């Protein structure tokens, strides 16, 4: 096994004050977009409906109806947005690094499961929805698409911004399009643990929620896409979170929100004004592919078999790289 090939694009020592300022502003831009931009865009469009500018949102909503299915048909990714310099500054703030441990054949399709979710999936977004970490150079011939909550693509204006980075919904229609209609060389990236895993995010903690999450394995079998585990070391170290105890009122409200809207509001805090993440490095290590045959009507036994293989490969990846990524030899991975 390779000791690891990493992309150190832009990882410079000795930063100027101006460079540090750009990194902070770029990171605040990302965090603000993650937390507020979708709601802000929605409120803006509805506000404009009651002003003299009402024709603008009216025309947009007509366009929205016409374009409603686009996210599930491959979206509208642009290299321009994925190459914004702001993503380089976001990468350098922590810094974030993408590490390759095995070749991925561009004549095949892949489902990359990335763990853990953390609070905001910063490592997943930076490595797979921007070009700042060198994915194309490390894996030539592959196109990466990070998939996320379908609800994101119902928010006016924000949906176009999300699609421009290659973000797409994690719906069955979307995955079917990515793994069939676009030929080979597609790397679909799924944050397996989802909202449930974000509630367990805390510095020094490596808890994954995936024992009962087998949908991604069923999709892999249906389309014959190889499975690839990815571990983002350091993702849980970006914010401190108040982890509410099971059964408490706050936890029940979080679970209710997760059930209704698909995401769970986390009580977290970072540096300075509270929403700036701590400057802790993130290293996203891409493991070796697990060959998956194409079985359109896979049995539960087949699903369980490949799910077990995936968990074993993920655990192996974690333990082989934890020390080089800043953890102690005694650090354990807990899978729920």
What 247-251 contacts at long range (C-beta under 8 Å, 24+ apart), as own/partner pairs, is 251/199
Least confident of 59-73, 119-133, 155-169, 253-267: 253-267
Phi-psi sector, 176: left (phi>0), alpha (psi -120 to 50), beta: alpha
- The yes-or-no verdict on residue 6 having pLDDT over 60 is no
Give the integer Cα–Cα distance in Å for 264 and 120: 11
pLDDT for res 13: 62
Give the integer Cα–Cα distance in Å for 57 and 50: 10
- DSSP single-letter state for residue 131: S
Q: How confident is the model at residue 111 (pLDDT cuts 50, 70, 90)?
A: very high
Q: Both tokens of residue 60?
A: 């947009």
Q: What is the mean pLDDT of residues 291-300?
A: 96
Give the integer Cα–Cα distance in Å for 16 and 39: 35
- The yes-or-no verdict on residue 9 having pLDDT over 60 is no
Q: What is the mean pLDDT of residues 280-298?
A: 97
CB 285 within 8 A of CB 229: no
CB 182 within 8 A of CB 140: no
pLDDT for res 7: 46
- DSSP single-letter state for residue 177: I
Mean pLDDT, all residues of the chain: 92
pLDDT for res 245: 74
Q: Both tokens of residue 325?
A: 């990524």
pLDDT for res 138: 98
Q: Both tokens of residue 126?
A: 């930076």
**Strand, helix or coil for residue 191:** strand
Q: How confident is the model at residue 255 (pLDDT cuts 50, 70, 90)?
A: confident
pLDDT tens by residue, 154-211: 999 999 999 999 999 999 999 999 999 889 999 999 999 998 898 888 898 899 999 9
pLDDT for res 143: 96
Among candidate residues 232, 235, 220, 233, the one with its CA nearest the CA of residue 309: 220
Give the integer Cα–Cα distance in Å for 235 and 241: 13
């Amino acid at each position: 096994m390779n000791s690891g090939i990493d992309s150190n694009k832009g990882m410079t020592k000795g930063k100027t004050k101006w460079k540090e300022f750009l990194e902070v502003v770029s990171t605040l831009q990302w965090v603000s977009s993650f937390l507020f931009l979708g709601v802000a865009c929605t409120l803006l469009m509805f506000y404009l409906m009651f002003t003299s500018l009402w024709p603008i949102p009216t025309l947009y909503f007509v366009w929205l109806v016409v374009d409603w299915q686009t996210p599930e048909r491959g979206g509208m990714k642009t290299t321009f947005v994925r190459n914004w310099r702001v993503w380089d500054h976001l990468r350098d703030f922590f810094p974030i690094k993408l590490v390759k441990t095995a070749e991925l054949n561009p004549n095949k399709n892949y489902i990359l499961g990335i763990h853990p979710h953390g609070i905001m999936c910063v490592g997943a977004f930076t490595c797979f929805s921007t070009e700042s970490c060198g994915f194309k150079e490390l894996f030539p011939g592959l196109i990466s698409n990070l998939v996320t909550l379908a609800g994101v693509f119902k928010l006016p204006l924000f949906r176009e911004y999300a699609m421009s980075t290659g973000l797409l919904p994690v719906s069955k229609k979307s995955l079917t399009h990515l793994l069939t209609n676009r030929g080979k060389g597609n790397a679909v990236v799924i944050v397996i643990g989802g909202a449930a895993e974000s509630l367990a995010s805390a510095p020094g903690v490596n808890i994954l929620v995936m024992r009962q999450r087998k949908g991604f394995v069923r999709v892999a079998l249906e389309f014959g896409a190889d499975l690839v585990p990815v571990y983002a070391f350091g993702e849980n170290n970006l914010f401190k979170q108040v982890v509410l105890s099971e059964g408490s009122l706050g936890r029940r409200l979080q679970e209710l929100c997760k059930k209704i809207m698909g995401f769970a509001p986390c009580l977290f805090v970072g540096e300075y004004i509270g929403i700036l993440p701590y400057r802790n490095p993130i290293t996203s290590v891409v493991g070796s592919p697990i060959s998956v045959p194409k079985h359109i009507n896979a049995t539960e036994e087949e699903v369980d078999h490949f799910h077990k293989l995936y968990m074993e490969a993920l655990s192996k990846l974690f333990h082989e790289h934890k020390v080089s990524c800043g953890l102690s030899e005694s650090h354990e991975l807990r899978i729920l």
